Amino acid sequence: MKQYSAFDVIGPDMIGPSSSHTAGANRLGAMARKIARGDIKKATIYLHGSFAKTCKGHGTDRALVAGLLGISASDERLKDALKIADESGFLYEFRKADLGDVHPNTVKFTIEQSSGKTLEIMGASIGGGNIEITEIDGLKLKLTGEYPTLITRHRDCPGVISMVTGILADFGINIAFMSVYRHSKGQDAFMVIEADDSFDEGIEATLRNDVDGVKDAYSIIFTDGEA
Amino acid sequence: MDYGFRNGKELIDLCRTHEKNMGQIMILREMEISGRSMEYIRGEMKEKLEIMRAAAEKGIENEIKSVGGLIGGEARKLNDWNKKDKSISGTVMNKAVARALSVMEVNASMGHIVAAPTAGSCGILPGVIITAGETLESTEDEHIDGLFAASAVGLLVMQNATVSGAEGGCQAETGTAAAMASAGVVQMAGGTPEMSLHAGAMTFKNVMGLICDPIAGLVESPCQKRNALGVANAMVSADMALSGIESLIPFDEVVEAMLRVGKALPATFRETAMGGLATTPTGIKISKELYAPKI
């Protein structure tokens, strides 16, 4: 079980009014930005359940766009995020949607990147500002962003996992949690590795270049105060 | 862990063994889990206190308009009334409540607040700690230690029950904030850790069964006024505990009962805006007007 900090109780310091509808929404936007590596040409945001119902009053729309722009939950600019987006030419669109049998505070981002590539990210705000990313590009997974996280996309074949964990050991990284996901046998698979320590960029490059089978590796580093 | 505790009893044992108060144990625990220095951790809490102070004054100095438009200006009204010195519940109580109302106005207007333990209950702890601190002539360090003592109580609830209105109703949300505030103030006033937990237990007992029924689903009404109730509850419970009154039912058992009550509450009374005040004729009318222009 997670050890709560005193600042999980008194905190986060945030822009109101709701930790799940504002701070959590902001964090979901921030995670989507990280997963897209900051490369967002246009974001279409699908709001489900309670997110769709009480969006405006809770500032959920502003909080989500703020997250996508890299504005944090405690930054006063969160309030003006839609204006900031419009002024800077950041394209966004909100749609209400039924995303199925998912948490009531669920959102799906469809992100168009500068290369023309489209990325789909779904996540839920599960209370107290905590979130879970539940799907990336149709692949169901679980990602909280509470720990520095590394995601790899690799070929589903023997030995890749041990090569990756071996390299992490070489870099002195202690793995806290690790999950492996795939669509079906032999196809693309993903590893979500949550660690005690931040991943430096050298690790991403090493994994991509030195491990046969790893197609992509990217880290999502969330440290205290950055959410 | 040297300073870990699972329940109130273990927390009191730690205080006794190490001859420390609850706030100090909480700081030592924080050092243990984060690996950071005492100075850093206390500094972090000082920052929270400063945000709380700013939010507690903002609504008293200016009329704030909330995003949903259901609240705003209440903090200033009560503060003005309080200056006339004719109040029923006394100037200290009214000052504390005015501050809590202010923090909730800042929250509902998308201003900067500290969730304590949630955003919907963020007025209570600042209202009580800052105002009691004035009465007690507490130092900055004593305020900070008071907040750490409060966080110990919030932690106990998070570990053993819930602080979420969606899970346990408003008893869990503003109830926890008030229990935290009462325990923190007892420590600031020189009470023992046992007294702090008695205060927390009595606070919960006073709001057992309190439902969460936000009008139009917004964290505005009745949330703001329930923060006012939380302040009064915390201060009365703190005074009772400091006078030597004990909770007949120990803190841990009260928290367990609170969780059972929360689970027994129908979903309509747990932040769904599908029951209570939210479904009164006025509540429904407000909701319809607010959501008429769809996003």
Whole-number average pLDDT of chain A: 90
Q: B295 and A9 in contact by Cβ < 8 A?
A: no
**For residue B153, which of B112, B120, B185 has the smallest C-alpha distance?**
B185
Q: Which residues lie closer than 8 Å to B103 by C-beta, 6 or more apart?
A: B52, B55, B56, B59, B113, B122, B123, B126, B127, B227
- Our CA-based measurement puts residue B68 at a distance from the nearest CA of chain A, in whole angstroms, of 5
| Residue entry with tokens 């439902």 | B211
Closest B-chain CA to A94: B295
- Tell me the per-residue pLDDT of A79-112, one tens digit each, with 9 for 90 and over: 999 999 999 999 999 999 999 999 989 999 999 9
Question: Could you tell me the end-to-end alpha-carbon distance of chain A, in angstroms, rounded to an integer?
Answer: 21
- Least CB–CB distance from B118: residue in A61, A78, A128: A128
Do the beta carbons of residue B167 and residue B270 sit within 8 Å?
A: yes
- Tell me the per-residue pLDDT of B47-100, one tens digit each, with 9 for 90 and over: 999 999 999 999 999 999 999 999 999 999 999 999 997 899 999 999 999 999
| Contacting residues of A for B166, CB less than 8 Å apart | 20, 127
**Burial tier of B288 (Cβ tally within 10 Å: 0-12, 13-18, 19+):** exposed
Q: Which pLDDT score is estimated for B293? A: 57
| Contacting residues of B for A10, CB less than 8 Å apart | 45, 48, 114-117, 125, 147, 150-151, 154
Q: How many CB pairs under 8 A join A and B?
A: 145
Determine the 3-state secondary structure of B262 from DSSP. Answer: helix
CA A9 to chain centre: 23
Q: B117 and A96 in contact by Cβ < 8 A?
A: no
Do the beta carbons of residue A211 and residue A165 sit within 8 Å?
A: no
Mean pLDDT, residues A50-59: 87
Q: B117 and A10 in contact by Cβ < 8 A?
A: yes
| Contacting residues of B for A127, CB less than 8 Å apart | 164, 166-167
- A146-160, B211-225, B227-241, B245-259: segment of lowest average pLDDT: A146-160
- Our CA-based measurement puts residue A28 at a distance from the nearest CA of chain B, in whole angstroms, of 18
Q: CA angle B40-B128-B212, nearest 5°? A: 105
- Tell me the per-residue pLDDT of B210-219, one tens digit each, with 9 for 90 and over: 999 999 999 9
Confidence of residue B240 (pLDDT cuts 50, 70, 90): very high
- Our CA-based measurement puts residue A185 at a distance from the nearest CA of chain B, in whole angstroms, of 40
Confidence of residue B279 (pLDDT cuts 50, 70, 90): very high
Q: Which pLDDT score is estimated for A147? A: 85
- Tell me the per-residue pLDDT of A149-200, one tens digit each, with 9 for 90 and over: 998 889 999 999 999 999 999 999 999 999 999 888 878 888 999 998 888 8
Provide the whole-model pTM: 0.90
- Least CB–CB distance from A16: residue in B1, B119, B273: B119
Q: Give alpha helix (H) positions in A70-133.
A: 81-88
Confidence of residue A222 (pLDDT cuts 50, 70, 90): low
Q: Give alpha helix (H) positions in chain A.
A: 6-9, 24-35, 49-53, 55-58, 60-69, 81-88, 160-170, 201-210
Q: Which pLDDT score is estimated for B94? A: 98
Eight-state DSSP code of residue A16: S
Confidence of residue A223 (pLDDT cuts 50, 70, 90): very low
- Our CA-based measurement puts residue B191 at a distance from the nearest CA of chain A, in whole angstroms, of 21
Q: Which pLDDT score is estimated for A54? A: 83
Q: Identify the residue among B143, B219, B287 best suited for mutation to test binding to A, counting A beta carbons within 10 A and taking the highest.
A: B219
